[in-house]
């Protein structure tokens, strides 16, 4: 039997390997072992619950495709979690996991299943949240709650505002509440936490979490199917609307228009709107002014990079919830080396646990270093605006003063615009701050530069080459 399980899994792996980066493959798929095949259910063993959750969150679709190719449409995947770790923490305990038969959204319902020492089985019904249901399911992930969202200086304002909103949805001046901040800093987690808390306190309220991406997609489908009004109506009956990554509406005039109407309706009727974005409203590009001004009606709260203490607390909390112990010096090493993205911090922890538990190696500083190297290589290197100006000037064989000068000569203007464009793309600086560093321009000039570069790179082949060359130089 186990031979067949291995064969099926190897075939799946071959397919998976072709479809993801080799780093992701190494981290997330190599440590998996196929353990059993019964009918069309393949059991795979993963090193921890967190590992399982990560696979579910990031690779469920890929796994489904791979497994369906091998075992047909009735293919099922069963996770077996091996909880033991190098430090031999083996007490049985109870974990909350998604249930296979009660829920058709991964997130909204859970059952308690006792996990024994070995081989607890998690059935995965392969249901991708949101594709089947028509009645309004909140689409909230109960694991993303306030308890698991650790407080620190970096998130205090946003977190407290979130709690205030959850206590009195629609009844505070934080409407909309806009949470903004960089990648992996907890926007999605916090947005869910607010929704989860509201559902807890006000079960009768209709709460809906939706990514802006999906909103855009639903809207364009509604236009194609000629039921735009149904679409609007659907959103108008919601009490608490949470839209994640609202910056993705940029450039989508139709969706912005419809969102504007939905927003107004909800707001006028005292319903709560919660938005997240990777930029402050003032830095959002290609979003209509009237919508931006709505975003500013309530409160915009920023999530900043977590400070050292918060990073340590987040790591320890994660380890605790995963039932894993790790020496303090390694926790400190991780906290010192991965600073700007909590998702990467979590990825490194899980990768460490996976390596150590499957290779039966202790978690050592050397192993931690190796893994952090992988992660840090993968993170975008922080480039400074000065560095960008230098690279762009060198590329066009001019000096930085010329690039910054007031001249209107076309090739110099273009170089300057490219520098602004890349500063926007590769740094966290605001438009105003970019402008002031690149020849004392204002934020409107920078905005215009970004748009011009966007336009030119889609219409002018030579210009596109500049963009590609520079992009390469700046990312090596």
Q: Number of residues in contact with Mg ion, rule: CB under 5 A?
A: 2
Answer with the entry of ligand ADP, Mg ion, none that 185 interacts with (C-beta below 5 to 8 A by kind): ligand ADP
181 annotated ligand-binding residue: no
Interacting positions 11-70 with Mg ion (CB under 5 A): none
Whole-number Cα distances in Å, 406 to 186, 214, 411, 448, 450? 41, 44, 13, 16, 18
Nearer Cβ to ligand ADP (103/145): 145
Q: If you search the block for the tokens 């100006």, which residue do you land on? A: 389
Buried b (16+ CB within 10 A) or exposed e, 39-58: ebbbbbbbbbbbbbbbbbee
Answer with the entry of Mg ion, ligand ADP, none that 379 interacts with (C-beta below 5 to 8 A by kind): none
**Cα(10)–Cα(33) distance, integer angstroms:** 10
225 annotated ligand-binding residue: no
Answer with the entry of ligand ADP, Mg ion, none that 242 interacts with (C-beta below 5 to 8 A by kind): none
188 annotated ligand-binding residue: yes
Residue 345: CB minimum distance to ligand ADP, A: 7
Binding mask 138-177 vs Mg ion (x if CB under 5 A, - otherwise)?
A: ----------------------------------------
Residue 280: CB minimum distance to Mg ion, A: 16
Nearer Cβ to ligand ADP (183/237): 183
Answer with the entry of Mg ion, ligand ADP, none that 47 interacts with (C-beta below 5 to 8 A by kind): none
Helices 443-459 and 461-475 meet at what angle, rounded to 10?
A: 120
Nearer Cβ to ligand ADP (150/434): 150
**Cα(9)–Cα(208) distance, integer angstroms:** 37
HSE-CB of 197 using CA atoms within 13 angstroms:
23
Answer with the entry of Mg ion, ligand ADP, none that 150 interacts with (C-beta below 5 to 8 A by kind): ligand ADP
Answer with the entry of Mg ion, ligand ADP, none that 193 interacts with (C-beta below 5 to 8 A by kind): none
| Backbone angle region of 88, left / alpha / beta, with phi > 0 → left and psi within -120 to 50 → alpha | left
Residue 188: CB minimum distance to Mg ion, A: 3
Rg of the chain over CA atoms, in angstroms? 24
Answer with the entry of Mg ion, ligand ADP, none that 37 interacts with (C-beta below 5 to 8 A by kind): none
Residue 215: CB minimum distance to Mg ion, A: 14
The tokens for 93 are: 């305990």
End-to-end CA distance of the chain: give it in Å, rounded: 47
Q: What is the DSSP string of 29-50?
A: TTT-EEEEEETTEEEEEES-HH
3-state secondary structure of 77: strand
Identify whether the C-beta of residue 8 lies closer than 8 Å to the C-beta of residue 71.
yes
Whole-number Cα distances in Å, 189 to 92, 195, 344, 387? 28, 10, 15, 34
Nearer Cβ to ligand ADP (97/185): 185
182 annotated ligand-binding residue: no
Answer with the entry of ligand ADP, Mg ion, none that 186 interacts with (C-beta below 5 to 8 A by kind): ligand ADP
**Cα(33)–Cα(50) distance, integer angstroms:** 16
Whole-number Cα distances in Å, 242 to 162, 214, 260, 350, 415? 12, 12, 14, 29, 40
**Cα(447)–Cα(428) distance, integer angstroms:** 15
| Backbone angle region of 39, left / alpha / beta, with phi > 0 → left and psi within -120 to 50 → alpha | left
Nearer Cβ to ligand ADP (152/439): 152
Nearer Cβ to Mg ion (186/323): 186
Nearer Cβ to ligand ADP (283/346): 346
Residue nearest to ligand ADP (CB): 186
The CB density around residue 176, as the number of other CB atoms within 10 Å, is 24
Interacting positions 171-200 with Mg ion (CB under 5 A): 187-188
Residue nearest to Mg ion (CB): 188
Residue 385: CB minimum distance to Mg ion, A: 26
Nearer Cβ to Mg ion (45/155): 155
Residue 182: CB minimum distance to ligand ADP, A: 7
Residues making contact with ligand ADP (CB under 6 A): 148-150, 155, 181, 183-189, 314, 342-343, 346
Output the known binding site. Answer: 184, 186-188
Interaction site with Mg ion (CB under 5 A) = 187-188
Output the known binding site for ATP. Answer: 184, 186-188
């Amino acid at each position: 039997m186990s031979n067949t399980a291995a064969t099926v899994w190897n075939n799946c792996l071959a397919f998976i390997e072709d479809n993801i980066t080799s780093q992701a493959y190494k981290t997330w798929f190599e440590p998996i072992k196929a353990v059993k095949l019964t009918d069309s259910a393949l059991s795979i063993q993963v090193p921890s619950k967190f590992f399982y959750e990560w696979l579910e969150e990031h690779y469920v679709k890929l796994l489904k495709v791979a497994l369906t190719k091998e075992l047909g449409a009735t293919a099922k995947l069963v996770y077996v979690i091996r909880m033991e770790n190098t430090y031999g923490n083996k007490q049985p305990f109870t974990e909350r996991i998604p249930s296979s038969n009660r829920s058709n959204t991964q997130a909204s319902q859970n059952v308690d299943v006792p996990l024994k020492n070995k081989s607890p089985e998690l059935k995965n019904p392969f249901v991708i949240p949101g594709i089947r249901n028509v009645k309004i399911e909140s689409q909230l992930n109960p694991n993303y709650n306030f308890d698991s969202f650790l407080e620190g200086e970096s998130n205090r304002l946003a977190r407290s505002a979130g709690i205030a909103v959850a206590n009195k949805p629609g009844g505070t001046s934080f409407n909309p509440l806009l949470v903004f901040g960089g990648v992996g800093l907890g926007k999605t987690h916090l947005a869910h936490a607010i929704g989860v808390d509201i559902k807890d306190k006000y079960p009768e309220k209709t709460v809906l979490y939706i990514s802006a991406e999906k909103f855009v997609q639903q809207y364009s489908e509604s236009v194609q199917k000629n039921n735009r009004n149904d679409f609007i109506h659907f959103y108008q009956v919601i009490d608490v609307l949470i839209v994640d990554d609202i910056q993705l509406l940029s450039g989508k005039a139709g969706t912005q228009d419809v969102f504007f109407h939905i927003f107004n309706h909800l707001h006028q009727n005292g319903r709560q709107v919660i938005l997240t974005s990777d930029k402050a409203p003032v830095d959002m590009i290609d979003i209509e002014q009237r919508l931006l001004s709505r975003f500013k009606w309530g409160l915009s709260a920023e999530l900043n990079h977590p400070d050292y203490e918060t990073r340590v607390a987040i790591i320890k909390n994660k380890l605790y919830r995963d039932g894993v112990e790790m020496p303090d010096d390694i926790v400190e090493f991780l906290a010192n080396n991965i600073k700007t993205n909590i998702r990467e911090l979590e990825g490194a922890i899980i990768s460490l646990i996976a390596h150590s538990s499957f290779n039966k190696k202790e978690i050592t500083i050397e192993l931690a270093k190796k893994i952090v190297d992988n992660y840090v290589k993968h993170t975008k290197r922080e480039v400074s605006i000065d560095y960008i100006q230098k690279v762009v000037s060198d590329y066009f064989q001019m000096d930085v003063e010329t690039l910054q000068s007031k001249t209107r000569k076309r090739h110099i203007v273009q170089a300057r615009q490219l520098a602004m464009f890349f500063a926007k793309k590769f740094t966290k600086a605001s438009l105003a701050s970019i402008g002031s560093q690149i020849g004392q321009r204002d934020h409107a000039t920078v905005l215009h530069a970004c748009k011009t570069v966007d336009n030119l790179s889609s219409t002018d082949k030579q210009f596109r080459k500049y963009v590609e060359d520079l992009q390469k130089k700046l990312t090596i």
